[in-house]
Amino acid sequence: MDYILIICKSGVMYSGQLLQEYSDDLKWIGIKPSTKSDICLYFATDRIKKIYFQDGTSETKIETDLKEMPELDLEIPEENISLIRVKGGVSYCGERIRGEDIPTDIHDKEGYWISPSSIKETIIYIPEYEAEEVYSI
Amino acid sequence: MKSIVFIVRSSCDNQEQAESAYMAPLGVLSIANTLRMHGYHVHVLDFSAHDYETSEIYELIERVNPIYIAFSVYTENVDNIFIMCKAFKKRFKNIPIVLGGPHPTLDTEYCKRKRFVDFILIGDGEHNALELAEAIRTNEKLIHFSDIQGLVYVDEERKYSNGRPRRFITNIDLLPIINRDYIRKCFTATIPSMYSSRGCPGRCIYCAAPEMSGGKYRVREVENVFLETLYVEDMYKGYDQIFYCDDTFTVFNKRVERFIELCDKSVIKFRWRCESRVDAMFKNSYLLKGLKEAGCKRIQFGIESGNQKVLNNIGKGMDLSQAYEIIDETVNAGIDVAASFIFGHYCDTLETMEDTIGMMEKLRELYGNKVGVAYGLNTPFPGTYQYEHMKELGIEMTAKKFCELDMLSPVMQTKNFNIDDLKRFNSRGLKLYN
């Protein structure tokens, strides 16, 4: 599968290998940032401003000046928070999402599902075997 | 909204020099993007991009009331940073002051100033800066300061506690891509920079990179590097060359081959430069043609000395004959070369430094402007082998303050050369510098 780079409304940017063929109909785009890890990130397509593809093309989904820092509207969740240290030395933090609340477009898998923001621009999937330490409130 | 303020002072504290060749503070921006992803509004004040008045910073801090103020600290600016920290603490008593960056990582003890430094972040900053923010925000309900790896904090007895040992990010692909929108000046830089790896496989005794990265060399997936390049190319219209500022870009030949393939298939072409090592490029010299076709305009090689014995003694692991050969092959492939040197290695003598001048002259003579020669004066920074073993190596530091370690001023001598000798080689080197 090809790699893409996504720029979100908040200015958060990630790149990785697509989990399924890219299409305009997707409500969530999933990527795997590293082939050495099974951690996946899902991005809500209505919050994506631009995508770069590995053939050098790009698609602007929301017209905006990418050099301007956008108004940050990501709210830090206040409840059901977990901070997860994953293999590879990175930490992710966010609101835990229960299985039934995972959007149906995303294939449900066992593990940790968290969203760093209550707006749910991004949802992070961390398999249990990738989580080294978990702190929760 | 929770805010955090990052302050970056130029490593040289020379505004003119910093402005002429602006390099985005990628480390700080990477941390800022990790925090942004988690909902924190980060402000990055880079003195190389703008000469901030103190009142401007005070106004911002009063307006956004950050949960902490973090300073990026290099060895040569550490004492200036302390002056700022002290003033900030006096004015904003309840806002934690945080230090991070190379100097706090390599010389943590020096940074423990209880009256005005609350926290010290050690090593890669993305995870511990986020965990610190979460600890402060939740009043340690989510995570205690003592649980954060690579964090020095002031404990209940008002003593510094080193907490848990630092943690290395071994998979840097798991981090967000660096959005440069924190600093407008980033987008007007003529040599926009990005990195494809952290650390260096080399173990040179004058370099702090091995200690900074714990001897770990970590590479990004080349597809991710390529895609970030497309973003940089798109944003920096009018740029000259994109600079992969890793210590060594071309270590793994398969990775470079894949990068060349991606460039070849891409509808967008770009111009770029990188740093490499003579030994790495020598064994993969077949890649040069592809690199040229992929848009590579310049490769920088750290030669460091024109004398083989000196190279052997400083752990460079390089053969001078290979250096001449690979420089020749690179130029013949149509790629310019930058060769950099250092005067004043612990084992240098007047004769060996003559050899270095001789090599610089020879390269200029053979290749003209196709090979740029650059040099610096040996500077024992904390964290380097030579700093930790000065007595054993016969190094006498003449610099009394860290701010003198600007790599342009002579700061050490040995029984074989003194400060005046270094000044003379500095003048001669300057005439060859291009």
pLDDT in tens, A56-111: 999 999 999 999 999 878 889 988 999 999 999 999 999 999 877 787 777 768 89
Interface test with A, best of B185, B224, B227 (most A CBs within 10 A): B227
Q: Which pLDDT band holds residue B216 (cuts at 50, 70, 90)? A: confident
Mean pLDDT of chain B: 93
Burial classification of residue B254, based on how many CB atoms lie within 10 Å of its CB (0-12 exposed, 13-18 middle, 19 or more buried): exposed
Mean pLDDT of B331-354: 97
Which of A36-40, B211-215, B377-381 is predicted with the least confidence, judged by mean pLDDT?
B211-215
* Cα torsion angle, B400, B406, B409, B415, sign: positive
| Alpha-carbon distance A103 to nearest alpha carbon in chain B (angstroms) | 20
Interface test with A, best of B173, B262, B267 (most A CBs within 10 A): B173
Q: Cβ of B177 and A5 within 8 Å?
A: yes
Greater model confidence, B257 or B21: B257
Per-residue pLDDT tens over the stretch B233-255: 999 988 999 999 988 898 899 99
* Helix ranges restricted to H, A2-135: none
Q: Cβ of A93 and B126 within 8 Å?
A: no
Q: Which pLDDT band holds residue B289 (cuts at 50, 70, 90)? A: very high
Q: Using a CB-CB distance cutoff of 8 angstroms, which residues of chain B are in contact with residue A74?
A: 36-39
Q: How far is CA A40 from CA A28, A109, B24, B264, in A?
A: 12, 11, 29, 28
Q: How far is CA B216 from CA B67, B121, B167, in A?
A: 32, 19, 12
Residue B17 in this model has a pLDDT that exceeds 60: no
In this complex, how many residue pairs, one in chain A and one in chain B, have their CB atoms less than 8 Å apart?
154
Q: How far is CA B252 from CA A94, B65, B106, B269, B377, in A?
A: 36, 46, 28, 22, 30
Interface test with A, best of B3, B33, B38, B148 (most A CBs within 10 A): B38
| Alpha-carbon distance B40 to nearest alpha carbon in chain A (angstroms) | 8
Find the farthest-apart pair of alpha carbons in chain A and give their distance in angstroms, rounded: 44
**Running DSSP on this structure, what letter comes out for residue B334?**
T
pLDDT of residue B65: 97
Instruction: Give the whole-angstrom CA distance, residue B70 versus residue B64.
Output: 14
Residue B407 in this model has a pLDDT that exceeds 60: yes
- Backbone dihedral angles phi then psi of residue B94, each to the nearest 5 degrees: -95, 0
Q: Cβ of A11 and B231 within 8 Å?
A: no
- Which residue in A52, A69, A94 is closest to B227 by CB distance? A52
Q: Which pLDDT band holds residue A125 (cuts at 50, 70, 90)? A: very high
Residue B21 in this model has a pLDDT that exceeds 70: yes
Percent of chain B with pLDDT over 90: 82
Per-residue pLDDT tens over the stretch B98-139: 999 999 999 999 999 878 999 999 999 999 999 999 999 999
CA nearest B182 in A: which residue? A69
The token pair that represents B414 in the structure block: 């040995």
| Alpha-carbon distance A120 to nearest alpha carbon in chain B (angstroms) | 11
Q: Are A126 and A112 in contact (CB under 8 A)?
A: yes
Q: Which pLDDT band holds residue B20 (cuts at 50, 70, 90)? A: low
Interface test with A, best of B3, B26, B30, B37 (most A CBs within 10 A): B37
Give the β-pairing of B68-72 and B41-46: unpaired
The token pair that represents B118 in the structure block: 């609350």
Residue B421: how many CA atoms within 13 Å on its side-chain side? Answer: 18
- Which residue in B1, B143, B170 is closest to A83 by CB distance? B143
Mean pLDDT of B173-202: 92
Domain boundaries in chain A?
3-60, 81-136
Per-residue pLDDT tens over the stretch A7-44: 999 999 999 999 999 988 889 999 999 999 999 999 99
Q: Cβ of B227 and A136 within 8 Å?
A: no
| Alpha-carbon distance B294 to nearest alpha carbon in chain A (angstroms) | 13
Instruction: Give the whole-angstrom CA distance, residue B103 versus residue B99.
Output: 9
Instruction: Give the whole-angstrom CA distance, residue A26 versus residue B368.
Output: 56
CA nearest A43 in B: which residue? B37
A135 touches chain B (CB under 8 A): yes
Q: Cβ of A54 and B224 within 8 Å?
A: no
Query: In 3-state terms, what secondary structure has residue A16?
Result: strand
| Residue whose tokens read 């040992």 | B165
Q: Using a CB-CB distance cutoff of 8 angstroms, which residues of chain B are in contact with residue A85?
A: 127, 167
Q: Using a CB-CB distance cutoff of 8 angstroms, which residues of chain B are in contact with residue A10?
A: 36-37
pLDDT of residue A71: 84
Residue B13 in this model has a pLDDT that exceeds 70: no
Q: Cβ of A3 and B227 within 8 Å?
A: yes
A111 touches chain B (CB under 8 A): no
Residues 32-91 of A with CB under 8 A from B: 33-37, 39, 52, 54-58, 66-70, 72, 74-77, 81, 83, 85-91
Contacts of A32 (CB under 8 A, 6+ apart): A16, A17, A19, A38, A39, A40
CA nearest A75 in B: which residue? B39
Residue B15 in this model has a pLDDT that exceeds 70: no
Residue B18 in this model has a pLDDT that exceeds 80: no
Instruction: Give the whole-angstrom CA distance, residue B130 versus residue B30.
Output: 11
Edge to edge, the sheet with strand B336-343 lists B193-194, B242-244, B272-276, B296-304, B336-343, B371-377
| Alpha-carbon distance B322 to nearest alpha carbon in chain A (angstroms) | 35
Q: Which pLDDT band holds residue B1 (cuts at 50, 70, 90)? A: confident
Q: Cβ of A66 and B235 within 8 Å?
A: yes
Q: Are B297 and B344 in contact (CB under 8 A)?
A: no
For chain B, domains (ranges, CATH) are 3-161 (3.40.50.280), 190-432 (3.20.20.70)
| Alpha-carbon distance A74 to nearest alpha carbon in chain B (angstroms) | 5
pLDDT of residue B11: 59
The token pair that represents B43 in the structure block: 């402000």
Q: Torsion angle, CA of A23/A29/A34/A40, rounded to 10 degrees?
A: -140
Instruction: Give the whole-angstrom CA distance, residue A22 versus residue A2.
Output: 9
Among B285, B288, B299, B297, smallest CA distance to B249 is for: B299
The gap from C-alpha B22 to its chain's centroid, in whole angstroms, comes to: 13
* CA angle (B240 as vertex; B236, B243 as ends), nearest 5: 80
The model's pTM is 0.95
Q: Which pLDDT band holds residue B19 (cuts at 50, 70, 90)? A: low
Any idea how long chain A is?
A: 137
What letter represents residue B291's amino acid?
L
Contacts of B309 (CB under 8 A, 6+ apart): B347, B352
